[in-house]
Structure 1
Amino acid sequence: MFVIRAIGKTLGFNRADSFDQELEFKDSDEIVGGEVVDITQFPFQASLTLIDMPWTTLYKVRVGSSNQSKGGQVHNIAKIIRHPHYNVSQFDNDVAILKLTEKIALNGVTAKPVQLASSDSVLKPGDNIIVTGWGTTENNTSSELLRAVTVPVTTRESCAKAYRDTTPITDRMVCAGLNQGGKDACQGDSGGPAVDEKSLTQYGIVSFGEGCALPDYPGVYAYIPPLRDWIKEVTGI
C-alpha cells in the first residue's frame, strides 16, 4: 500500500497491517505457497513496525534485512501522505507515501531503490509478478523471514466477476493469482511490492483479497501506472 520516499529514492514497502481511513492499523494479511528468499534478491523490500506506547503509537521502517524484526537499518517516519482520493471502503487509489526523518544508507546490496513502472506501461494477462513479504503462510503463521511467491496476472474481466458482489475492480487495480488458488499474498503482506518477474520493475502494491490463495479469487493490487503521476507529484521521483 506504500512506497517510501527516502532522500530522493523510492523503495518498495511492506507493512504488517493495513491502513484504514483514519490512519489507524487493523489486522491484515503473508505469502502463501511461496519460498524463503534473501534480502539481496529483493533489496527494495522494507517492513513497517508498529510500537504501541502509553501515550502514542510509533511507526518504524526497517530496511536491509531478511528478518522483519532484527538487522538492517531502522528509521522513523516523519510524515504520511495518503492519496487524496483513497477510498477506504473500496480500496481504490490504495497508495500512500511515507517520508522518513533520516537518510537511508543505500548500499546496492541489501538496500536499493526499486524501479517503478512508468505511467504508460502495461501488465498483460499471463505476465508473472513476484510478491514478497513477511505475511501469513499456508500454515496460518507469520514468517520472520522474507518470502516470495510468483503469480500470473489475470484478466480484468475475470477479476471483476470474482469480486462483483463486494468490491468494484477499477483501473487503479490489477489482479494476479491461480484459478486453482494455492499461491497468494496474505495477512501481513499488505503494502508490499509486486514486481515484474523479468525486470523486477514494480507494477503493483499488495492491497486486498478474499481470504488468501482461494480458488477463483485472485489477489488485488494497487496498480502503479495510473498512480505514477501522483507519486511523482508528491516525491519528485
Structure 2
Amino acid sequence: MVHFGRNVSFIAVVLACVALKATSNPVGHVQVVGGTLAKQGQFPHIAALLRREISGARTFFCGGSLIAPTWVLTTADCLRTHNVGSTSVRTGELDFDQATEYEQLVNAKRFVVHPDYVPTTALNNIALVELSQPVVEIPGFVNSIKLATTRDVLYPGTECTVAGWGSTSEGGATSKKLQFAYLPSMSDVECGADWPERFDSPSQLCAGFSQGGISACGVDYGGPLTCGNNPVLQGVVSYNNGCGRPGLPSVYNRVSNYVDWINSNINNSTLGSTV
C-alpha cells in the first residue's frame, strides 16, 4: 500500500468515534494490485498501523492483524524506523475518508520483534505490537483471527485472500478504501525457483499467479493472508519486488512456523525481544 495520512480525534476502545479527513502522501510504495473494494466487516481482524506526526496528524504506514484484544501481528520491517511513543493502531477501519462507529484507535505499548530477525534478508521478519488497552471486539466487525498451526496444512492452489489499503497498479494513485484480492497458495518448489537466493521454506510461503497481475507488496507489509473455507491467518506480507510482476510472487511469513513464539509472548508479556 502507499502511505497516506489522516488527522483524527478518537476516544479509544469505545464504539463511537470522531475522525477528520485523510490527506495523501506521495506514491512510491507498492500495494495490493488487481484488488476489489472490501465491505465493512469483511476483514474484521485487519488493523492499520499509524504514525503520529509533529502536526498531530496520523499517517498510515503498515498493515497488521488483530490476534488478541491487546496484540497485533505485523512485520519487523514495519517497526524498524518507528517508535512506540508515536505509534497507534486502528481497528474497524474501512475508508480513510469516512469514519464509522466500528473504528477504534489504541496507542502502542511496546514492540516485540523476533529475536532472530535479519533485516538484510527479511528472515524471521515478524513482530508483535502490544496495545496500551484492549480493543473492544464487535462481532462481525472487529474480531481477532485464529492463527494457523502445523495442523492447518496449506496445500498448493488453496484459495487465499490478501487485504490492505493502496493503489491498483504499481506506482499508481492510492485508494483510501480497504481492498482485497484472491490468490492461490504456491508450492515451496515454485516459490524457491522464483526467489532462489532468498526464499526460506520453513518460515516463508508464496501466493500469487505466475503471470502476475494480482499481488500484495510494499506498505501492505504486515498485512494478513488468510486461506481456506474457514479462514485462518496463514501469512503476513513480508516482501516483494514491484507489484504483480510475472514470476515474482509476494512472499509471506508462514504463521504456523511462528505460532509458538507468538503465543509465548502473548501469554507471558515478559518474554521476547523488545525495541
One-letter amino acid of the counterpart of residue 115, structure 2: P
**Separation (CA, whole Å) in 2 of partners of 1:128 and 1:41:** 16
Structure 2 counterparts to residues 172-187 of structure 1, below 5 A: 172-187=203-218
Superposed displacement of residue 197, structure 1 = 3.9
Superposed displacement of residue 110, structure 1 = 1.6
Match of 2:165 in 1: 134
Match of 2:135 in 1: 104
One-letter amino acid of the counterpart of residue 155, structure 1: S
TM-score for both structures, normalised by structure 1: 0.82
**Separation (CA, whole Å) in 2 of partners of 1:141 and 1:154:** 29
Q: Secondary structure at the match of 2:220?
A: coil
Change (3 A) 1:117 1:69: farther
Structure 2 counterparts to residues 87-126 of structure 1, below 5 A: 87-126=118-157
Query: 2:206·2:252 contact (CA, 8 Å) conserved in 1?
Result: yes
**Separation (CA, whole Å) in 1 of partners of 2:219 and 2:97:** 13
**Separation (CA, whole Å) in 2 of partners of 1:47 and 1:141:** 19
Superposed displacement of residue 185, structure 1 = 0.7
One-letter amino acid of the counterpart of residue 223, structure 1: R
Structure 2 counterparts to residues 1-237 of structure 1, below 5 A: 28-53=29-54, 58-68=86-96, 71=99, 72-138=103-169, 140-165=172-197, 167-236=198-267
**Separation (CA, whole Å) in 1 of partners of 2:227 and 2:169:** 23
One-letter amino acid of the counterpart of residue 156, structure 1: D
Superposed displacement of residue 70, structure 1 = 5.3
One-letter amino acid of the counterpart of residue 60, structure 1: S
Runs of 4+ in 1 over 3 A off after TM superposition: none
Superposed displacement of residue 131, structure 1 = 0.2
**Separation (CA, whole Å) in 2 of partners of 1:70 and 1:95:** 30
Superposed displacement of residue 191, structure 1 = 0.4
Q: Secondary structure at the match of 1:232?
A: helix
Determine which structure has more spread, i.e. the larger CA radius of gyration.
2
Q: Secondary structure at the match of 1:130?
A: strand
- How many residue pairs align between the two structures? 210
**Separation (CA, whole Å) in 2 of partners of 1:46 and 1:68:** 12
Superposed displacement of residue 45, structure 1 = 0.8
Superposed displacement of residue 121, structure 1 = 2.5
Q: Which runs of 5+ in 1 are unaligned?
A: 1-26
Superposed displacement of residue 119, structure 1 = 3.4
Superposed displacement of residue 69, structure 1 = 6.0
The answer to which of 43-52 and 63-72 deviates more is 63-72
Change (3 A) 1:195 1:99: same
Query: 1:137·1:186 contact (CA, 8 Å) conserved in 2?
Result: no
Q: Which runs of 5+ in 2 are unaligned?
A: 1-27, 56-82, 269-275
One-letter amino acid of the counterpart of residue 49, structure 2: L
Q: Secondary structure at the match of 1:188?
A: helix
Q: Secondary structure at the match of 1:104?
A: coil
Query: 2:218·2:239 contact (CA, 8 Å) conserved in 1?
Result: no
Percent of paired sites with the same residue: 28
